Homo-oligomer: A and B are copies of this chain.
């Protein structure tokens, strides 16, 4: 037995993850101030780890600090989404290419499991979460720590945008589901086959396709 994973606790890290999830889930509306005492009280911890979590979230674009040091939930516009996708179009082909070159079997089981989960998913929320998770898996499979750091900056931004625009995009998500699953499956196969160039191109096309769909969607 491999015993226990053994890991020193770090409240800040847990808080960061939990807060990020809460923000994406829409628990805090766009523009809401996340005051440290309020969060500390709700989480049952002191302000120190909360502060550290907020700093980490700021570097990931999940909160913004105003000129007085208060952290707020950023409110994303359509332009923000285009900006985010532009960055992802720059980063993710690289990640897919590296993943294809490394061909880590361990990462493949994660990706395959994600595909299965996505095929079985029902709610748009679950679908969006799995979609992001798949792309995270590709970045992780690239094996580049720095690429992963960059990815952190955009990882949950699309999810956050979806939450803030929720009224309109549920139907869109559902409609795109089969397309997305098919695109992910194709990416998975290509990465596993080790075809670097084709992996890059598929990743790019998957994202640009999405970008092309958006202007037609009823957004603002």
Find A146's partner among B48, B149, B154 (CB 8 Å cutoff).
Answer: B154
State the copy count for this chain. Answer: 2
- By DSSP majority rule, is chain A's interface helix, strand, loop, or mixed? helix
The yes or no answer to A42 lying at the interface (CB within 8 A) is no
Whether A59 contacts B7 in the complex (CB less than 8 A), given A83-B144, A87-B147, A91-B91, comes out as no
Interface string of A46-68 (1 = CB under 8 A from B): 00100110011001110000011
The yes or no answer to A105 lying at the interface (CB within 8 A) is no
| Cβ of A16 to closest chain B Cβ, rounded Å | 10
Number of interface residues of A (CB under 8 A): 36
Are the C-beta atoms of A87 and B94 separated by less than 8 Å? yes
Are the C-beta atoms of A94 and B90 separated by less than 8 Å? yes
Interface string of A174-188 (1 = CB under 8 A from B): 000000000000000
CB-CB contacts below 8 Å: A139-169 with B: 144-147, 149-150, 152-154, 157
| Cβ of A89 to closest chain B Cβ, rounded Å | 8
**Chain B residues positioned under 8 Å from A154 (CB to CB):** 146, 150
22 A-B pairs (CB sep. < 8 Å):
A7-B67, A8-B68, A8-B69, A10-B69, A12-B55, A52-B52, A52-B55, A56-B59, A59-B59, A60-B149, A84-B146, A86-B94, A86-B147, A87-B94, A87-B150, A90-B90, A90-B93, A90-B94, A146-B153, A146-B154, A150-B153, A153-B153
